[in-house]
Structure 1
Amino acid sequence: MTPTREELAATVDVAEWRLLRGHLERGGLIVVDRELDLVEAGVRVANDDSATIGSWIEAGKLAKPSAEQIAEWDAADEKKFRMLIISPYILIQDEGLTVG
């Protein structure tokens, strides 16, 4: 059964990069552009909406982390992201959140 928008919205959390990095190694992190609603992206991924997902990928709005992003985040492992788990993926969104 596919989770509802409300169920997904209730599971959005915040996590530091150092806790998310391990998921990078298995290829499970997907970066969601700030212009997209994280929950809406989660709904589309959960529903396997390949047309919308494909258009977002093509527009650069949904992607695996780039080498540049990874290097930047590794240098500031206290960096925080909004995150949403849509197994087997973890959708992350850089909101410019930092500790403190």
Structure 2
Amino acid sequence: MSDLRAELTEILDEAEWEWLIPHVQRDAVILVALELNLVDVGVAIASDNIPSVEQWIDQQLIAKPTIVQVGEWNGERTKRFNTLIVQPYVLAQEIVAA
């Protein structure tokens, strides 16, 4: 498991909203709440940790982007996200300006 965590940590990256649009169009983007660690979520999804993933979904801590969010971000295409690819998904977490 630590190898998976190390691998995912290594591919953690930043992306602008515009770069995520094609993945949203193919329904592959999962938004991760700020209170969760993006790598922890990636490890849970990659290792089929169903209880954790279901709990996060139930608590609305991970979800597909809403039409409202997509509309807002389409007007702000340079908005940045931390991203992690866990095939076939792209996990994205908003970077909030300080």
- The normalised TM-score by structure 2 is 0.94
CA displacement 1:22-42 (0-9 Å, x = unmatched): 101111000000000000000
Partner of 1:20: 20
Task: Give the percent of matched residue pairs that are identical in Structure 1 and Structure 2.
Answer: 38
Q: Structure 1 counterpart of 2:24, which letter?
A: L
Matches within 5 A, 1:26-37: 26-37=26-37
CA distance in 2, matches of 1:56, 1:47: 15
CA displacement 1:42-96 (0-9 Å, x = unmatched): 0000011111100000000000001111111001000010000000000000012
SS of structure 2 residue aligned to 1:15: strand
5+ residue gaps in structure 2?
none
Partner of 2:90: 90
Matches within 5 A, 1:36-51: 36-51=36-51
Q: Structure 1 counterpart of 2:11, which letter?
A: T
Deviation at 1:8, TM superposition (A): 0.5
Structure with higher helix content: 2
Question: How large is the RMSD of aligned CA atoms in angstroms?
Answer: 1.6
Kindly tell me the number of residue pairs found equivalent between the two proteins. 97
CA distance in 2, matches of 1:35, 1:69: 18
CA distance in 1, matches of 2:64, 2:13: 19
